[in-house]
């Protein structure tokens, strides 16, 4: 197999519990998209939000992926090892005049009845010109309006959002010192040379923030493919909170078959329960992102 250096994909689980069927669908979708284009497929542990991280979960995720024959390229990148890189980028943003300290608490913003947007409370910019000391405060990215971000999702089609109007200045470092997902994901996707992001549709709207931040940092912008979500019940994504069960490794060949079907692919019936390698090889050979279902996309 010749490597396609133009395609680098990744799977980026948060080690807050075992992988479930929804995570398997995301892992399989990103794996098949990468491998069907002879691309690289990297693994990143998003263990930046330490209070959410569960001891042993990262290792459990690695051995589960191996049991499903989902082999990644190169070393695993742990976000908990990347704090210096995040700090350097925050410094760069400060020098660009794009970062400021904020003392507003969430409760205060709720009491003030600030508007809600697709990503939550729209910060009204109270601290923009207060020149607060970064120590002991959260740090926000300044998003001057209008900041219209447009991109074409390979599955969801053309997307557009005015970030200044609908999102507002986002937090990149929390008051408790934790680096925000938006910061870590953008810094690490560039660091790992990711060209293609394939992940669940619950992250479609945050892509606008990521693209904005990446362009402020002069980083190349990746392509996106957001996959339909697995629902526990209508309107509720399958997750630990909605009672998702850990993947049963002894049923890998059945679960992989079901994941392929969920992704709109049509493996032959007699492959259900086959060896994981056989199912993944079939998937790589027959991967048709155009067959992904659209109905399940409505959140
Ligand atoms: N860590 C995120 C999650 O588990 C995924 C981040 C991403 O793919 O950008 O939901
Ligand atoms: Zn503030």
> Whose C-alpha lies nearest to ligand 1, atom 6?
12
Render pLDDT for 29-56 as a digit per residue (tens, 0 to 9). 999 999 999 999 999 999 999 899 999 9
Q: How far is CA 202 from CA 174, 189, 191, 199, 257, in A?
A: 22, 18, 24, 8, 23
3-state SS class at 274? coil
Res 299 pLDDT > 60: no
What's the CA-to-centroid distance between 290 and ligand 1, angstroms?
23
Q: Check if 13 has its Cβ closer than 6 Å to any atom of ligand 1.
A: yes
What's the CA-to-centroid distance between 100 and ligand 2, angstroms?
9
* Domain locations in the chain as residue ranges: 4-82+222-297
Res 1 pLDDT > 60: no
4-82+222-297: CATH class = alpha beta
Is the pTM here over 0.75, yes or no?
A: yes
Instruction: Report how far residue 209's alpha carbon sits from residue 161's, in angstroms, rounded to the nearest whole number.
Output: 10
Q: How far is CA 220 from CA 11, 82, 101, 198, in A?
A: 19, 20, 27, 16
Nearest-atom number in ligand 1 for the CA of 206 is 9
Q: Residue 187's pLDDT is what?
A: 98
Q: Residue 298's pLDDT is what?
A: 37
Q: Taking a C-beta distance cutoff of 8 angstroms, is the pair 265, 227 a contact?
A: no
Residues with CB under 5 A from ligand 2 (ion): 102, 104, 126-127
């Amino acid at each position: 197999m010749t490597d396609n250096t133009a395609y680098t994909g990744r799977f980026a689980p948060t080690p807050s519990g075992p992988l479930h069927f929804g995570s398997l669908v995301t892992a399989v979708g990103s794996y098949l998209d990468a491998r069907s284009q002879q691309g690289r497929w990297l693994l990143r542990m998003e263990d930046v939000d330490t209070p959410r991280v569960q001891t042993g979960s990262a290792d459990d995720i690695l051995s589960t992926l191996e049991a499903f024959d989902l082999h990644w390229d190169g070393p695993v990148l742990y976000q908990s090892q990347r704090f210096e890189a995040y700090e350097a980028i925050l410094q760069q943003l400060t020098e660009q005049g794009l970062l400021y300290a904020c003392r507003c608490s969430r409760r205060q913003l709720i009491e003030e009845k600030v508007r809600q947007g697709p990503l939550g409370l729209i910060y009204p910019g109270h601290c923009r010109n207060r020149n607060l000391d970064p120590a002991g405060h959260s740090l926000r990215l300044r998003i001057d309006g209008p900041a219209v971000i447009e991109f074409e999702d390979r599955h969801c089609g053309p997307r557009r959002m005015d970030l200044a109007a609908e999102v507002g200045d986002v937090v990149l470092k929390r008051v408790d010192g934790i680096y925000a997902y938006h910061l870590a994901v953008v810094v690490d996707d560039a660091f790992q040379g990711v060209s293609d992001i394939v992940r669940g549709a619950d992250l479609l709207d945050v892509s606008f923030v990521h693209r904005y931040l990446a362009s402020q940092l002069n980083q190349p912008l990746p392509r996106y493919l957001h996959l339909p979500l697995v629902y526990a019940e209508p309107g509720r994504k399958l997750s630990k909170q909605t009672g998702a069960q850990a993947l049963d490794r002894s049923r890998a060949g059945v679960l992989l078959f079901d994941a392929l079907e969920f992704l709109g692919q049509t493996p032959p019936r007699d492959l259900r329960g086959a060896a994981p390698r056989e199912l993944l090889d079939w998937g790589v050979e027959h991967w048709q992102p155009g067959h992904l279902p659209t109905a399940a996309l409505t959140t």
